[in-house]
């Protein structure tokens, strides 16, 4: 699935964020974020509500422009060309008013491709082959999110960004999506995964970014983060004590 | 999807355009002649004899002359002699020929509040309507009928427009619409006999004043000048005029009746 | 009241006997107004989509203008088109005055603002839902507009219907540029105006009833399509 020329593999460095801040009006939503992520594997972004997790995802995907600071992928500053090689899955899937297959075809065509095999493969990968002809909006919540994932994967992105994709799904669907995500990561795609769910974070994370009130509280490998978190904020959160 | 619908539309528009056959001419004429049904009687006969189709645009005389000034027609057939003569003088028309006449009448509610029933003298009748302040519905649209009505008022020395909106009501519309309005407000109105005879919404209205020589309504026919308007189909237009003025055309005009009554009296100078 | 029952009876007779003249003017009414709707959609939908997704200085003024143009008086549109298509006008050489094409042009001008303004509203609402996803997809403006129009297609049918309703019911514009010429440019509304001016109110009313039945039929057909769409959760 991964492109040999992909930026992440070329440079040996994935995401680099320097002194990142985002303000709107008098509100400072993110401030002083410095971060360098591994080029592969699953980075889980955690933190309490309002910590700025989703905003960080939007910033590194170019959906919002930072007030201050720099974002680069593989040594190159964030540009439309780079964000085209990323896919973002939203918490609430935004599906087109078309069939399941047409939803996948849509993004392929937007990239100038008409590739039925790629589409069928993507649907098979998320277990939706049998639903190809159904109206997308008639799918169950879990199926809808899997379709969103198929759409995100069919373009073969370098980076897959996931913003609490399983927050409102049943356990079976959650497991299904987690399996697809770990498979995708195993094939070399870098994944940034925002979640509230500590159990899910333990299952998925190679490393963890922990945000607290718009600041980076901790960035550690998963094993260390869950066993011996350094920051007070992370300790409190893991113990279920933190309320902002 | 879009390109297909474009194709359909273009196809639709192109088949629409040639519907105006090459030898079809446009006659700018008046609502009164068209509404009377005269053209429905004449045109099939003419088409039969010559193969020329005639399309009639029926508007007020003023509008018809304006349209012809804009070269939007080949033949002008109206009833406002001074305006027609001016049209020819200005070089817009080739020449004007008397074609036929009908007459104007004054109609009004059966109970006749101004008491003009049976009068022959139109001046006295109008003066009486003005004096009693009975409602009078005028075309007010610069049409041939309207111009005629104004001329009759000016003979009486009364300027009804000072009472406009009062007893004098200018509808600003065609003859039929004005008769409908007169009907609706029980007002007197002046109309040509042809329109009245073919008018279906008569209600309790009667012909109250008729027979005055001043109410004579002369129609003229003019070929729009091809030297000024190159789009004019001079040959076909002239053929239509020649036919109207010929014995055959004049006979056809005389033969048109409605409810057994002859509406137009041919008077071309043969 | 007897006029109305006469009219009902006459309308029934006209339809039952497939009166040739009636069929001709109904066909021309449909031809002219449906063509106008199709062209108005070709112009108005992309315009509405563009206004829905772009932000620029003066956008508010443009929206106000387009909304105001929805209320264009048909007579004024007719006059403007007449002045252009008249032999004495700048486009007189085309020889289009008093043809169905002239009527299509006038009605297109009349309803394009309606299609643009209403579709702008529909598409802006849909775009609010899709915007983030489309930016994530890195769609071009053109791709965004096309996708919005396609996904809103059933709502836009209603927009087209509003345009059709206005076109098929107007008399002022087609009367001036078409001339109400028998067997050439006579449509339902000009025929009704003509019969009214002849004082044949019952026949005028009968024609009016046929026109209303026609509008009802088109509306019912569109409603049927929308119901099907709703069942598929596309609407």
Cα A163 to Cα A57: distance, rounded to the nearest angstrom: 7
CATH topology of domain B103-215: D-Maltodextrin-Binding Protein; domain 2 (3.40.190)
Is residue B223 classed as helix, strand or coil in its secondary structure?
strand
Q: Does C197 touch chain A (CB under 8 A)?
A: no
A and C touch with 3+ CB pairs <8 Å, answer yes
All residues at 6 or more sequence positions from C9 whose CB lies less than 8 Å from its CB, including other chains: none
Give CATH 3.40.190.10 domain extents, chain B: 4-101+218-266, 103-215
Distance in Å, alpha carbon of B178 to nearest chain C alpha carbon: 8
Give tens-digit pLDDT for B151-192: 999 999 999 999 998 999 998 888 888 999 898 889 999 999
Give the CA angle between residues A114, A118, A122 to the nearest 5°.
130
Confidence category of residue B220, pLDDT binned at 50, 70, 90: very high
- Smallest Cβ–Cβ distance between C143 and the set A88, A110, A137 belongs to A110
Position B12 confidence tier, pLDDT thresholds 50, 70, 90: very low
- Option in A62, A96, A138 nearest C151 (CB): A96
Distance from CA of A187 to the nearest CA of C (A): 22
pLDDT of residue B208: 96
Query: How close, in Å, is residue C45 to chain B by CA atoms?
Result: 11
What's residue A5's pLDDT? 43
Residues of C with CB under 8 A from a CB of B: 31, 35, 38-39, 41-42, 86-89, 92, 95-101, 104, 179-182, 184, 194, 196-202
Compare CB distances from B176 to C180, C182, C199 and report the shortest one's residue.
C199
Rounded distance between C-alpha atoms, residue A243 and residue B131, angstroms? 94
What was the pLDDT predicted at C1? Answer: 52
State the pLDDT at residue A214: 93
Most A CBs within 10 Å, among C125, C127, C128, C138, to test the A interface: C138
Distance between CA atoms of B95 and C89, rounded to whole angstroms? 25
Tens of pLDDT along B120-135? 999 999 999 999 999 9
Nearest to A86 by CA among A166, A146, A155, A9: A155
Q: Do chains B and C touch (3 or more CB pairs under 8 A)?
A: yes
Mean pLDDT across B110-122: 95
Out of B2-11, C24-33, C40-49, C201-210, least confident range:
B2-11
Max CA-CA distance within chain B?
Answer: 71
Confidence band (pLDDT; 50, 70, 90) for C125? very high
CA–CA min distance A44, chain C (Å): 20
CB atoms within 10 A of CB B7: 10
Domain that holds residue C96: 2-234
pLDDT for B176: 87
A91 falls in which pLDDT band (50, 70, 90)? very high
On the question of pLDDT at B16 being above 70, the answer is no
Task: Dump pLDDT digits (tens) for B40-55.
Answer: 999 999 999 999 999 9
Query: Shortest Cα distance from C125 to chain A (angstroms)?
Result: 14
Rounded distance between C-alpha atoms, residue A182 and residue A241, angstroms: 29
Q: Tell me, what CATH number does C78's domain have?
A: 1.10.3720.10
CA distance B57 to chain C (A): 5
User: What backbone phi and psi angles, to 5 degrees, belong to A219?
Assistant: -135, 110
Chain A neighbours (≥3 Cβ pairs under 8 A) are C
**In the CATH hierarchy, which fold is given to the domain comprising B4-101+218-266?**
D-Maltodextrin-Binding Protein; domain 2 (3.40.190)
For A153-196, the pLDDT digits (tens) are: 999 999 999 999 998 899 999 999 999 999 999 999 999 999 98
CB B245 within 8 A of CB B99: yes
According to DSSP, the β-strands at B93-108 and B206-209 are antiparallel
For residue A10, what pLDDT band results from cuts at 50, 70 and 90? very low
Note the pTM of the prediction, 2 decimals. 0.83
* Mean pLDDT confidence for C16-31: 90
Interface contact flag, A63 C151, Cβ < 8 Å: no
Residue C87's pLDDT band, with cuts at 50, 70 and 90, is confident
C156 Cβ under 8 Å from any chain A Cβ: no
Residue among A63, A97, A141, A165 with most chain C CBs within 10 A, to mutate: A97
For residue C41, the chain B residues in CB contact (below 8 A) are 5
A residues 50-69 closer than 8 Å to C (CB): 61-63
pLDDT on residue C235: 55
- Which of C133, C139, C232 lies nearest to residue A90, judging by beta carbons? C133
- Token pair, residue C73, equals 């008086």
Q: Write the residue in C181, C194, C200 that is nearest to B55 by C-beta.
A: C181
Q: How many domains does chain C have?
A: 1
Instruction: Read off the tokens for C77.
Output: 């549109």
């Amino acid at each position: 699935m991964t492109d040999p020329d992909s930026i992440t593999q070329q440079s040996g460095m994935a995401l680099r964020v320097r002194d990142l801040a985002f303000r709107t009006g008098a509100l400072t939503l993110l401030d002083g974020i410095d971060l360098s992520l591994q080029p592969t594997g699953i980075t889980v972004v955690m933190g309490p509500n309002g910590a700025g997790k989703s905003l960080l995802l939007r910033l590194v995907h170019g959906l919002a422009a930072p007030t201050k600071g720099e974002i680069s992928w593989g040594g190159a500053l964030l540009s439309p060309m780079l964000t085209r090689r990323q896919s973002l899955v939203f918490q609430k899937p935004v599906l087109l008013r078309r069939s399941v297959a047409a939803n996948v075809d849509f993004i392929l065509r937007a990239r100038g491709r008409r590739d039925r095999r790629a589409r069928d493969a993507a649907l098979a990968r998320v277990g939706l082959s049998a639903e190809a002809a159904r109206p997308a909006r008639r799918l169950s919540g879990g199926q809808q999110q899997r379709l969103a994932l198929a759409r995100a994967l069919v373009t073969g992105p370098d980076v897959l960004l996931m913003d609490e994709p399983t927050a409102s799904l049943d356990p079976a669907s959650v497991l299904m999506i987690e399996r697809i995500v770990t498979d995708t990561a195993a094939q070399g795609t870098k994944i940034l995964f925002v979640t509230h769910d500590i159990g899910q974070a333990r299952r998925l994370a190679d490393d963890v970014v922990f945000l607290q009130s718009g600041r980076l509280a901790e960035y550690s490998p998963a094993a260390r983060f869950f066993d011996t978190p350094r920051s007070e904020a992370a300790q409190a959160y893991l113990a279920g004590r933190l309320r902002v | 999807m879009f390109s297909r619908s474009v194709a359909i539309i273009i196809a639709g528009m192109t088949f629409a355009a040639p519907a105006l056959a090459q030898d079809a001419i446009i006659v700018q004429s008046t609502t009164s002649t068209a509404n009377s049904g005269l053209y429905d009687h004449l045109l099939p006969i003419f088409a039969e004899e010559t193969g020329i189709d005639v399309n009639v645009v029926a508007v007020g005389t003023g509008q018809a002359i304006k349209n012809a000034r804009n070269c939007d027609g080949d033949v002008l057939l109206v009833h406002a002699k001074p305006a027609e003569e001016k049209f020819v003088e200005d070089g817009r028309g080739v020449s004007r020929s008397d074609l036929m006449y009908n007459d104007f009448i004054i109609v009004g509610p059966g109970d006749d509040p101004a008491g003009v029933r049976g009068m022959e003298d139109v001046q006295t009748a109008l003066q009486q309507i003005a004096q009693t302040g009975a409602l009078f519905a005028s075309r007010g649209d610069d049409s041939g009928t309207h111009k005629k009505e104004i001329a009759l008022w000016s003979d009486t020395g009364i300027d009804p427009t000072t009472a406009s909106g009062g007893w004098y009501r200018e509808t600003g519309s065609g003859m039929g619409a004005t008769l409908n309005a007169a009907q609706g407000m029980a007002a007197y109105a002046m109309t040509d006999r042809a329109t009245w005879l073919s008018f279906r919404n008569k209600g309790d209205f009667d012909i109250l004043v008729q027979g005055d020589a001043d109410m004579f309504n002369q129609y003229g026919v003019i070929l729009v000048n091809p030297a000024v308007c190159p789009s004019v189909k001079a040959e076909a237009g002239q053929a239509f005029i020649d036919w109207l003025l010929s014995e055959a055309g004049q006979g056809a005009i005389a033969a048109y009746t409605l409810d057994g009554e002859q509406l137009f009296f041919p008077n071309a100078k043969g | 009241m007897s006029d109305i029952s006469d009219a009902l009876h006459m309308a029934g007779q006209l339809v039952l006997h497939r009166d040739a003249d009636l069929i001709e003017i109904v066909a021309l009414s449909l031809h002219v107004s449906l063509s106008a709707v199709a062209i108005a959609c070709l112009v108005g939908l992309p315009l509405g989509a563009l206004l829905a997704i772009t932000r620029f200085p003066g956008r508010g003024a443009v929206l106000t203008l387009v909304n105001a143009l929805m209320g264009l008086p048909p007579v004024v549109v007719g006059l403007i088109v007449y002045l252009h298509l008249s032999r004495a006008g700048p486009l007189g050489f085309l020889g289009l005055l008093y043809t169905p094409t002239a009527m299509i042009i006038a009605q297109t001008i009349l309803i394009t603002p309606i299609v643009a303004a209403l579709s702008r509203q529909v598409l802006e609402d849909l775009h609010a839902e899709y915007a983030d996803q489309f930016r994530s997809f890195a769609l071009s403006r053109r791709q965004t507009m096309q996708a919005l129009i396609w996904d809103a297609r059933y709502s836009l049918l209603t927009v087209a219907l509003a345009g059709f309703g206005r076109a098929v019911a107007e008399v002022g514009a087609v009367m001036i540029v078409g001339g109400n010429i028998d067997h050439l440019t006579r449509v339902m509304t000009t025929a009704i105006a003509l019969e009214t001016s002849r004082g044949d109110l019952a026949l005028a009313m009968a024609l009016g009833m046929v026109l209303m039945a026609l509008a009802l039929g088109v509306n019912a057909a569109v409603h049927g399509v929308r119901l099907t769409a709703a069942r598929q959760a596309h609407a």
